[in-house]
Amino acid sequence: MTRAMMLVLAMLALSTCARAAEVQAAVAANFAAPMKAIVAEFEQATGHKVHLSFGASGRFYAQIRNGAPFHVLLSADEDIPARLEREGLSVPASRFTYAVGTLVLWSARTDFVDARGAVLSRGAFAHLAVANPKLAPYGAAAMETLDKLGFAAALRSKLVFGENIAQAHQFVASGNAELGFVALSQVMKDGRIAGGSAWVVPASMHSPIRQDAVILARGRGNAAAAALLRFLHQAGAVAIIRSYGYRV
């Protein structure tokens, strides 16, 4: 390799490093698995670095209002990003729906949940896990579903609430709850439900779970933040999102 070529490669490397940036991303717990896969491709393609935090969207909202150093938010709903926009805590016109979620009633036990959710009417279980409806949109959708089915009052004593959808899923996966309402993405693998038994809740049973992303005020001018949200529109990211049971 000639000295001139080595110099060119060194300059290119320095240029790449100069362009690379870091982004702190707050991500809804239900989107953890697809986001990890997307970020792996994003970092390889762009050289940017993403630091991920997963949790309840309502909790993130409170943290952002109190100055948490996040650059972008991928919420589990559309209301929180819209609220942040109204309050001047996000970059105007950066908000968009990156996925529409699907609610599922799931048990780690095979043949426990039937394909129509009739297990709820039988009540042959001690605990039904639900994410906190005040913080987690999937929890709110679960309570809407129970209300629509007419089971909310009858099953109230059996409800166990997780702080977010990840904790609700953990209650069921560990066997501490026989069944629970979780995100379809949490129990999907290779395009199908992997393990246990499930009822995919019809979309008509609850309000649409539109999940919006937004660049936060702290992310204004951050190249990695803007690039990450643009990347969510690309074919590779869309394919990953759909593979976890979301609509785009």
- 69 and 132 housed in the same domain: no
Residue 124 sits at the vertex; the CA angle it makes with 123 and 129, to the nearest 5 degrees, is 70
- 147 and 219 housed in the same domain: no
User: What are the tokens at 133?
Assistant: 């409806």
How many domains does the structure of the chain reveal?
A: 2
Partners of 197 in the beta sheet?
Answer: 107
Q: Could you report the per-residue pLDDT of 173-191, keeping only the tens digit for each? A: 999 999 999 999 999 887 7
pLDDT score of 207 more than 90: yes
Q: Could you report the per-residue pLDDT of 18-44, keeping only the tens digit for each? A: 468 999 999 998 999 999 999 999 999
pLDDT for residue 23:
98
- 51 and 132 housed in the same domain: no
pLDDT score of 9 more than 70: no
How far, in Å, CA of 139 to CA of 134, rounded?
8
Nearest CA among 127, 108, 105, 120 for reference residue 182: 105
Q: Could you report the per-residue pLDDT of 217-226, keeping only the tens digit for each? A: 999 999 999 9
User: What are the tokens at 202?
Assistant: 């019809």
> Greater confidence, 50 or 14?
50
> How many other C-beta atoms are found inside a 10 Å radius of the C-beta of residue 78?
20
User: What are the tokens at 192?
Assistant: 């199908």
Among the residues of the chain, which ranges form H helices? 3-19, 32-46, 57-65, 79-86, 119-122, 137-149, 152-155, 165-173, 223-231, 235-243
Contact residues for 229 (Cβ-Cβ < 8 A; gap 6+):
72, 94, 96, 213, 215
pLDDT for residue 136:
87
pLDDT for residue 3:
54
| 138 lies in some domain | yes
CA 214 to chain CA centroid, Å, is 13
How far, in Å, CA of 114 to CA of 104, rounded?
12
- 121 and 199 housed in the same domain: yes
- 93 and 127 housed in the same domain: no
| 118 lies in some domain | yes
* Residue 229 domain boundaries: 21-100+209-243
| 1 lies in some domain | no
- 191 and 232 housed in the same domain: no
Q: Could you report the per-residue pLDDT of 76-94, keeping only the tens digit for each? A: 999 999 999 999 999 999 9
| 10 lies in some domain | no
pLDDT class for 68, splitting at 50, 70, 90?
Answer: very high
Q: Which residue has the tokens 């996000």?
A: 90
Read off the pLDDT of each residue in 134-144 and give the average, rounded to a whole number: 92
pLDDT score of 105 more than 60: yes
pLDDT class for 70, splitting at 50, 70, 90?
Answer: very high
What pTM was estimated for this model as a whole?
Answer: 0.80
The DSSP annotation for 8-33 comes to HHHHHHHHHHHH--EEEEEEEGGGHH
- 200 and 170 housed in the same domain: yes
Pick the range with the lowest mean pLDDT from 6-20, 95-109, 144-158. Answer: 6-20
pLDDT for residue 4:
46
| 9 lies in some domain | no
| 66 lies in some domain | yes
Kindly report the average pLDDT of the chain as a whole number. 91
Q: Which residue has the tokens 């959808």?
A: 165
User: What are the tokens at 219?
Assistant: 């992310």
**Domain holding 131: CATH number?**
3.40.190.10
pLDDT for residue 13:
39
- 137 and 157 housed in the same domain: yes
For 189, counting Cβ atoms within 10 Å of its Cβ (0-12 exposed, 13-18 middle, 19+ buried), the class is: exposed
- 83 and 121 housed in the same domain: no
pLDDT for residue 46:
96
- 192 and 105 housed in the same domain: yes
Partners of 200 in the beta sheet?
Answer: 104
CB 34, CB 241: distance < 8 Å: yes
pLDDT for residue 202:
96
| 6 lies in some domain | no
